[in-house]
Chain A
Amino acid sequence: MINYIIRRILYAIPILIGVNLLTFALFFVVNTPDNMARIHLGVKHVTPEAIAKWKHERGYDKPLIWNSAAQGAKQASDTIFFEKSVGMFAFDFGRSDEGRDIAHDIKTRMWPSLAIALPVFVVGLAVNIAFAMLMAFFRATYIDLSGVVLCVAMMSISGLFYIIGGQYLVSKLLHLTPISGFDAGSNALKFIILPVVIGVVGGIGSGARWYRTIFLEETSRDYVRTARAKGLSELSVLFGHVLKNAMIPILTGAVVVIPLLFMGSLISESFFGIPGLGSYTIDAINAQDFAIVRAMVFLGSVLYIVGLILTDISYTLVDPRIRLE
């Protein structure tokens, strides 16, 4: 088991190197620092001196990969690639184009993100499973059919409309929660409720439908027939046997997103004015702050790979038939 985990982590390294090289190529080779400077300083009426100054302040005036002017090891280390990309492996994200410390920003902003994303994940999982169980219990009846129709209809609504509609209905018409904002400590609760509810409702369509197919697949297995044959009621078959076995695909599918919860949600955070990593990324995109976007791309990939490793481990925990060698 330990061996397996170590090997998986070693496998992750070439992938992270690939991600790193790709982002480096995108941000510095395809799109030169000169272009970046011009975007920030305005496309027209910009002097070469201003560009040079902008680049120097941010350390973008060094050679890309190989510094032939330097001596010894500095030839490889005194370059944009080494300073901006290699450091990321140590989670040293450097400074944003505006001069802020990215690592510090990430550390403070991931908690509000988590405060929204974690309840959405947990409550959403429970609600989706409950709905899917309901539909599986009443399978091939009108309740099941109308449930599926409802799910497909809910899937077909863009996430933006859930947020806009929820904000309008709950905050503007009923005045139940503030429209947007965030606060520290227990005061945060009133700001969190609406985004969480909307996040859960928006996910029901695809989630419940997906889990329903998993449940239905399980109910056609032999062990279910055996359980029914020995006289168990449909409810205890469903909860005692089907749910347990269906948890294997459900849990392993859900585990992969757990690390990504730190990243928060781009859309809902910026609508609700929550100072999390999602809105941080959106602000960076709008301000064309390439350093932050680059850091977030790398961080996202790391978290995704962690999620994949956790998924593999969770297989062995929930399914005793699987052993990792």
Chain B
Amino acid sequence: MMLFKPVLLWTDMLLWLLLAGVAFYAWRVRRREHLLQPWRRLLRSRSGVASAVVLLAFVAVGVLDSLHFRLPLEKLGNGGAETHYSPEVLSVFDLMVGPLRKQVEKTYSAPFAAHLYTKETIELPGGKQVRDYPRLKFGGAHLREPAREQAGDVAVTALQGGVYALALCGGLAVALAVWLARRRGISPGAAWTMIRHGCDEIPWRTLLATIGLLVLFVCLATVFSAKYHIFGTDKVGQDVFYLALKSIRTGLMIGTLTTLVMLPFALLLGIMAGYFRGWVDDVIQYTYTTLSSIPGVLLIAAAVLILQVYMDSNQELFDTVAARADIRLLFLCVILGITSWTGLCRLLRGETLKVREMEFIQAATAFGIGHFRIIARHILPNVMHIVLISIVLDFSALVLAEAVLSYVGVGVDPAMQSWGNMINGARLEMAREPMVWWSLLAAFVFMFVLVLSANLFSDRVRDAFDPRVR
């Protein structure tokens, strides 16, 4: 009997493909100085380093959340040798944050609350009944009298988290200083002075500060979420912090897979239009002008509506809820890709028109090299900077678009955790008194941090890669 049954969702598969592509690119770049140059420039800017660290943290959560599996169900009696697996699809990340997932309350509760949001009839030990806010099952359950003890408990827990973070950061700083000293052939003390005064090409101080903040956040979140619901709970009592963390994968998938899906079309058609010109160019230009003249949201809405109809009439194709939600996510990426490839295609066409007139292309043609080889060896490498810049630029817009589309009702599956769905759910409760604001806050904080770092990072990428800026 297996301990678990691995599940490979479609989006997971594409994500691994994407990571393999990134690894291949990194391997190529490492050996070529001229390709390495822009990355070096990127690493020298402070906002570039800081945003890259934050983005990497998000990506780490997203990747861990993409290792899916199903656990076996407990055997009922000693029937057949065949094991049955739970219909619930879990990820490695779910195991890591175990208690967050399992500590489900009855309904809404505010952040750090020890009581439920709504009044209920509670039966006292004597048999009497009162209407009051009942205690939560998990949040602040260790306190005997929350009103009196909570402030002290929060302070002590924060201190505890702070001490952990400090110890970790100190260790990291020492490790960095020793490593840097080894590399540069100086004493660790001198390396530390260099880090502190920021007198090296790479802004180590910023790097260390960003990692320190992240470590502090992770430590505080860990110690607090063991005792409280940091961002409260939602309508069915799920921890909002857990939902926000799970939404990271959805956001990243939309931001990256969309580009991955559209990239082959944009590359192939854009370069073909610019390289062959003539009727090929006319046909391709006509195609993308037609597609881009349809307002994006409407085309997406139309396509998603039709997908919904298809999925509703073919429900037997999907064996788990996760598989169904996953297919919908994948199609959303495809549809977003179809509406957004036109911009990149146009840019690539323009750049190819310019590149194909260069002398080295004429030389290649004179040597009798075929069209395919010219495109692959000479044109493609010279337009790749555009591809990279537009991938990074599009990312933040796509993450924001997810929220809007979920609001319109054509976003990801309602069963899938996403920031858009969180906002959408919270919107319906805005009129309540007191207001249920914590889901909005959690979605806002997570989206803001991700999109802000993506925006900063894309600015630096453009500065480093755009030949016109240099």
Contacts and interface: CB of A to CB of B under 8 A. Distances in A.
A317 interface: no
Contact of A267 (B299, B301, B408): B408
Contact of A15 (B293, B298, B299, B410): B293
A290 interface: yes
Nearest to B427: A164
Contacts of B407: 160, 267
A320 interface: no
Contact of B313 (A35, A167, A290): A35
Interface in B244-278: none
A285 B410 contact: yes
A24 B456 CA distance: 42
Given A156-B396, A297-B298, A26 B440 contact: no
Interface residues of A, number: 46
A35 B308 CA distance: 10
Contacts of A19: 290, 293-294
A315 interface: no
Contact of A296 (B298, B427, B430): B298
A120 interface: no
A159 B400 contact: yes
Chain B contact residues, majority secondary structure: helix
A22 B294 contact: yes
A36 B295 contact: no
Contacts of B423: 158, 160, 164
B294 A301 contact: yes
Nearest to A307: B293
Nearest to B426: A164
A235 interface: no
Chain A contact residues, majority secondary structure: helix
Contacts of A26: 302-303, 306
B286 A159 contact: no
B198 to A, nearest CB: 18
A304 B444 contact: no
A157 B297 CA distance: 19
B452 A15 contact: no
Nearest to A38: B313
B61 to A, nearest CB: 19
Q: In this complex, which of B295, B444, B447 has the most chain A Cβ atoms within 10 angstroms of its Cβ?
A: B295
Interface string A232-265: 0000000000000000000000000000100100
A152 to B, nearest CB: 5
A138 B309 CA distance: 55
B107 interface: no
Interface string B304-343: 0110111011000000000000000000000000000000
A168 B436 CA distance: 12
A297 B297 CA distance: 9
Nearest to B402: A158
A240 to B, nearest CB: 28
A286 B298 CA distance: 13
A156 B455 contact: yes
B309 A35 contact: yes
Contacts of A155: 396, 451, 455
Interface string A77-113: 0000000000000000000000000000000000000
B290 A152 contact: no
A319 to B, nearest CB: 20
Contacts of B396: 155-156
A285 B312 contact: no
B223 to A, nearest CB: 29
A290 to B, nearest CB: 7
Contact of A43 (B303, B305, B313, B430): B313
A160 B408 contact: no
Given A153-B452, A156-B396, A30 B408 contact: no
A39 to B, nearest CB: 5
A266 B293 contact: no
A285 B456 CA distance: 35
B118 interface: no
A165 to B, nearest CB: 9
Nearest to B304: A285
A14 B404 CA distance: 32
Contacts of A300: 294-295, 298
Interface string A155-193: 111111100100110000000000000000000000000
Interface string A5-35: 0000000001100110011001100110001
Contact of A160 (B291, B310, B312, B404): B404
A281 B294 CA distance: 14
A224 interface: no
Nearest to B424: A160
B408 A27 contact: no
Contacts of A286: 409
B403 interface: yes
A163 to B, nearest CB: 10
B295 A152 contact: no
B351 interface: no
B290 A22 contact: yes
B293 A30 contact: no
A267 to B, nearest CB: 6
Given A158-B400, A159-B400, A160-B404, A293 B309 contact: no
Nearest to B301: A285
Contacts of B291: 22
Given A161-B444, A286-B409, A304-B293, A297 B305 contact: no
Contacts of B409: 282, 285-286
A204 interface: no
Given A35-B310, A164-B440, A156 B295 contact: no
A161 B308 CA distance: 27
B448 interface: yes
Contacts of B313: 35, 38, 43
Contacts of B404: 158-160, 266-267
Contacts of B455: 152, 155-156
Contacts of B290: 15, 18-19, 22
A260 B295 contact: yes
Contacts of B430: 164, 167-168
Interface in B375-395: none
Closest 4 CB pairs of A and B: A18-B290, A300-B295, A156-B452, A156-B451
21 contacts: A18-B290, A22-B294, A23-B302, A31-B310, A39-B308, A152-B459, A156-B451, A158-B423, A158-B451, A160-B404, A160-B407, A161-B440, A164-B427, A164-B430, A260-B295, A263-B295, A266-B408, A267-B408, A285-B410, A301-B295, A304-B295
Given A266-B297, A267-B407, A288-B305, 19 more contacts: A15-B290, A18-B290, A19-B290, A22-B290, A23-B294, A27-B302, A31-B309, A152-B455, A153-B452, A155-B455, A158-B423, A161-B444, A285-B410, A288-B309, A290-B305, A293-B298, A293-B302, A293-B305, A304-B294
